[in-house]
Amino acid sequence: MADNIKDKIQTDLQQVKETGSLRTDRIREIVKSAVSQVASEFKEGSSEIRALVKDAVSAVIESLQEKGGELKEEVTASIEGAIEGVNSKRHEAIVKTQTEIKQLQARLDSEEESLQRDVEVILAEVEETGKATSANTKNAIDSAVDAIKDSEEVSLLKKRYAQLQAQLAIVRANLAARYGGRSGEVKDYLDEAKNWYDQARPQAEALATQVEQQRSQLEDKLGEAGTALARKEIQIKHTLRELLLAAADLFKDKEPADQDNQLTKK
């Protein structure tokens, strides 16, 4: 096993070196391809899998020793490729599950929208009934209906939910980029994050300056991540990490204190 995978990796590396295109992304792909072809034969987490990763990384180091100098990036690429190769089948299962989750989320959103429309129809009928009552009764009905429509608690919960979903999408983009996700998969997560972020974003005039600046920073980071992904830059992982940190900082509870105090008193 060790000789076979080492021979394959070193042969592929040599061919790429002869063309003058030996970059870290090619090293990663060569190791990933070699490891994934063999890893399926072993049980996940077994000693054979660990030995496989070790042999793959050793093959790269031995092939590039003649290069001399710093090999950190090449070794990092070989480790990432080995991990991606070992987990390729598992990653496919994760992608399938995520697709099913998105389908369920779309179904849930549709049912919630349908429920909301039904509630609005009911409230409209209640308001219509109130027109035939005394002024005091009508005012009481209108006040109750308005309180239900404009519930601050419901609005806050919806925003918090959207914020959480945006952060989760960014986390998944980071994981996909780090552990073998294709560029299209990472882009889907970034698009999902932006969609949830837009849903969570309150009106700008209601925000403090600091919060608005942070929101602007998050938008910039989303744009940078998309651009880096389109160009297939190595920088994408660093940009995604910055995006995750920016989202975590932004989505801290920084709403105007008086609003939260009002909710607490209710």
Instruction: Report CA-CA distances (Å) from 58 to 45, 62, 66, 260.
Output: 19, 6, 14, 57
Q: How far is CA 60 from the centre of its chain?
A: 31
Cα distances from 69 to residues 62, 64, 66, 252, in angstroms, run 14, 10, 9, 44
Contact (Cβ atoms closer than 8 angstroms) between residue 207 and residue 173: no
Tokens of 15: 């061919």
0.75 exceeded by pTM: no
The CATH number that domain 152-266 falls under is: 1.20.120.660
Name the phi and psi angles at 48, rounded to 5: -65, -40
In the prediction, which pLDDT does 181 show? 66
SS3 57: helix
Measured in residues, the chain has a length of 266
Three-state SS for 134? coil
Hey, what's the torsion of the CAs at 123, 124, 125, 129, to 10 degrees?
100
Note the pLDDT of residue 180.
67
**What single-letter amino acid sits at 169?**
A
* Residue ranges per structural domain of the chain: 2-86, 88-150, 152-266
Cα 198 to Cα 217: distance, rounded to the nearest angstrom: 14
Kindly give the confidence (pLDDT) of every residue in the chain, 266 residues in length, as a single tens digit, with 9 standing for 90 and above. 545 888 888 888 888 888 877 788 888 889 988 888 888 777 766 788 888 888 899 988 888 877 666 788 888 888 888 888 888 878 888 888 888 988 988 898 889 889 888 888 888 888 888 888 888 888 888 888 877 776 667 777 777 888 888 888 888 888 887 776 677 788 888 888 888 888 877 543 444 444 555 566 677 777 777 776 666 556 677 777 788 887 777 776 555 444 444 444 44
